[in-house]
Structure 1
Amino acid sequence: MWPAGTLQPPPSSSAAPHQPAARETPIYTPSRPDLADNDADVLVSPRYLAGPRDCAFDIFTAPLSEHGWTFADDGHDTSLFTSPCLRIRVGWLPEVRTELPIQIAASTHPLRSPLWHISLDDSAPTEFLTAVTSTLARSLAESPHTLFAPNNDRAAALPRPRGWPGFSSPLVSFAQSADMSATYSAGPYVSPAGTPPEHQSWWSFAAGPQGQSPWKARFSTAAPKVLVEAFHDAFTDPAPLGRKRHELDPLLLTHLSITDPATSRTPGAPTGGRTGHAQHRPTAPRMSTSPPHARGR
């Protein structure tokens, strides 16, 4: 305490340092998980590591429902959508058991063997699956011959985007993203012994950081070019995808570029692609997207 009658120093202006206002919705970074707002919208790059959305099955099957496809579920291992003409099925098919849970099979007649086959991973970005189902439903309604005509264009159906190193030949092509997390190829794929000819893969896609199991997608030799192109365009589009923060896989955060849509030049969550498919609201019946063997028998 200062003695009476002596001059006291003026109060310091720095006694209470200014505290900057806290950011209401800070950008998430792996080093600051405490700042994450799990319900906030973010833009994610690269898109092939964005992962699935909530209610992914509802979203990517919505185009099928909108075009009059019927849904059936036996409560165990079989859940599928069937086209109005009964020639195409999408879902878990009882005659197919692979590591990829989502199957698409088409035949020229409901009682004939499949003409072509597609295997999709439910851990792939939902927009990639929607690109296939929306193109499939629209093509069947408007130009069904494109889904059942022989496809001889094979390797030429996969143009390599700028910045993706790779190689191509008349029968084989391969490309890899600059970060080496995504690949696609066209050419003979070594399928397990006993795989029917219509299930032999020709076009293969995969994405995942090194050291982690990648998601995969495979298209058989006779798969329609229009469906291969739809998936390929969604896969290689450089635009980011929109997500809620809680939809992101924690194991992939260090491999992602995450931005706030409010401060980004990109105002929404573009999906791109040659087919120009739109985002669909969930309208299809809800169903678990875990592999059949994980759903119980």
Structure 2
Amino acid sequence: MTPESDPRFAIDGDVFVSPRYLASTTGIGDPALAPLLGLGWDLQHDDLGNAYVTAPDRRVRLGYLPEGEDDGLWRINAYKDAFGPPAWGVCFNDRTPTEFVQAFTTALAGAYEQGPDAYLARPDARTDEHDPARAVGPLFQQGWEIERRRQGIFAVQSPDRLAGMEVTTGDLDPEAELTTRDARWHLWVGKSIDRPAWYATASTDTPVALLAAVTQCVSDPAPFPRWRQDTYSYIKGMAHLTPILPSEPSAPTPLDLQRAASSRRPAALPPPSVPRWSTTSRPALPGPRR
């Protein structure tokens, strides 16, 4: 295995965090922007350092807002009419692991390539492809369980009770879904839903395939690499931190062994018939007079 193909050489961190939803944000937005920029989406910046990415057809817009008015770091909206209100909106707050946002934008890029029927597809329980239950399925497959039922809310929680997803039933205010946490879908992590470590929301008509991409990533049992000093204090005693060991040295090749043997072999002495000059030699004595 070469260094280029060994994933340990690309790890950015000194510990693995498990379960992964307890990992901190990487603090870098580039991985989540890359799937959309790879399709030629337009990237603009404002004077504050916020970034805005717009699809070529102007029907999907992403805002990366480190200097926004609230903690909604990532806001993605889609439009049936480029000049009308959003058809759906998704928000990830500023402490959400970047990998989860990247899972969403990767799925969004794939849906965009398929056309508006994919990235504007409304959830529909009558079809297998757009059944909202698909978004919860990956969580159930990893042992998440239905929480105590509450009026108008369907909720599931992780086995350690430190992560949950809520789906609100009934009518909701479309504007509030886009600007507050009162949205149809609410994914959160922490000791309390009222004070989560991080959260993500999605409005009523968000395509199920995009939501399922996030829950699939969240429920994946593989850990995330992080720097120990950057992990959140709230995960102490809750998450498993495993040191990332340095890579093992590669086995020497036959050429390496040959070179090593050559370096240990003493240098050959010159033949005896060849006179050796020394700057410390005394000058020759004069011969007898004739």
Which TM class, normalised by the smaller chain length? 0.5 to 0.7
* Aligned residues of 2:13 and 2:227 also touching (Cα < 8 A): yes
Query: Could you tell me how far 1:186 is from its partner in structure 2?
Result: 1.8
Residue 241 (structure 1) aligned with residue 233 (structure 2):
no
Q: Which residue of 2 aligns with 1:208?
A: 190
Aligned length: 221
Q: Which residue of 2 aligns with 1:258?
A: 241
* Structure-2 separation of matches of 1:261 and 1:151: 41
Q: Which residue of 2 aligns with 1:122?
A: 94
Q: Which residue of 1 aligns with 2:119?
A: 147
1:90 is paired with a residue whose SS is strand
Question: Greater CA deviation, 182-191 or 84-93?
Answer: 182-191
* Structure-2 separation of matches of 1:173 and 1:208: 18
Q: Once the two structures are superposed, what CA deviation does each residue of 1:72-109 show, in whole Å capped at 9, x if it has no partner?
A: 1222485311111111011158xx96642321100012
CA RMSD across the alignment:
3.2
Letter matched to residue 224 of structure 2: L
Q: Which residue of 2 aligns with 1:229?
A: 212
Larger Rg: 2
Q: Once the two structures are superposed, what CA deviation does each residue of 1:134-158 show, in whole Å capped at 9, x if it has no partner?
A: 1111220234421112222334531
Letter matched to residue 230 of structure 2: E
Q: Once the two structures are superposed, what CA deviation does each residue of 1:199-255 show, in whole Å capped at 9, x if it has no partner?
A: 662111000135964211111110011110011111111221122333322442332
Query: Measured at CA, do residues 163 and 204 of structure 1 come closer, stay the same or move farther in structure 2, by a change above 3 Å?
Result: same
TM-score, structure 2 normalization: 0.66
- Choose the corresponding residue for 2:157, options 157, 176, 197: 176
Higher RCO (C-alpha 8 Å, min separation 6):
1
Letter matched to residue 186 of structure 1: V
- Choose the corresponding residue for 2:135, options 157, 170, 182: 157
Q: Which residue of 2 aligns with 1:195?
A: 175
* Structure-1 separation of matches of 2:141 and 2:246: 27
Q: Which residue of 2 aligns with 1:51?
A: 24
Query: Measured at CA, do residues 196 and 186 of structure 1 come closer, stay the same or move farther in structure 2, by a change above 3 Å?
Result: closer
* Aligned residues of 1:135 and 1:227 also touching (Cα < 8 A): yes
Alignment of 1:25-44 (within 5 A): 40-44=13-17
2:175 is paired with a residue whose SS is coil
Q: Which runs of 5+ in 2 are unaligned?
A: 1-11, 125-130, 248-290
* Structure-2 separation of matches of 1:103 and 1:53: 18
**Going by fraction, where is helix more abundant, 1 or 2?**
2
Q: Which residue of 1 aligns with 2:267?
A: none
Q: Which runs of 5+ in 1 are unaligned?
A: 1-38, 265-297
1:135 is paired with a residue whose SS is helix
TM-score, structure 1 normalization: 0.65
* Structure-2 separation of matches of 1:102 and 1:162: 27
- Choose the corresponding residue for 2:106, options 126, 134, 137: 134
Query: Measured at CA, do residues 197 and 91 of structure 1 come closer, stay the same or move farther in structure 2, by a change above 3 Å?
Result: closer
* Structure-1 separation of matches of 2:84 and 2:57: 13
* Aligned residues of 2:13 and 2:225 also touching (Cα < 8 A): no
Query: Measured at CA, do residues 98 and 206 of structure 1 come closer, stay the same or move farther in structure 2, by a change above 3 Å?
Result: same
* Aligned residues of 1:157 and 1:228 also touching (Cα < 8 A): yes
2:35 is paired with a residue whose SS is helix
* Structure-2 separation of matches of 1:124 and 1:142: 28
Identical pairs, percent = 29
* Structure-1 separation of matches of 2:32 and 2:76: 13
Query: Measured at CA, do residues 54 and 184 of structure 1 come closer, stay the same or move farther in structure 2, by a change above 3 Å?
Result: same
Query: Measured at CA, do residues 196 and 53 of structure 1 come closer, stay the same or move farther in structure 2, by a change above 3 Å?
Result: closer
* Aligned residues of 1:198 and 1:221 also touching (Cα < 8 A): no
1:62 is paired with a residue whose SS is helix
* Aligned residues of 1:44 and 1:50 also touching (Cα < 8 A): yes
* Structure-1 separation of matches of 2:42 and 2:50: 14
Residue 218 (structure 1) aligned with residue 205 (structure 2):
no
Letter matched to residue 242 of structure 1: P
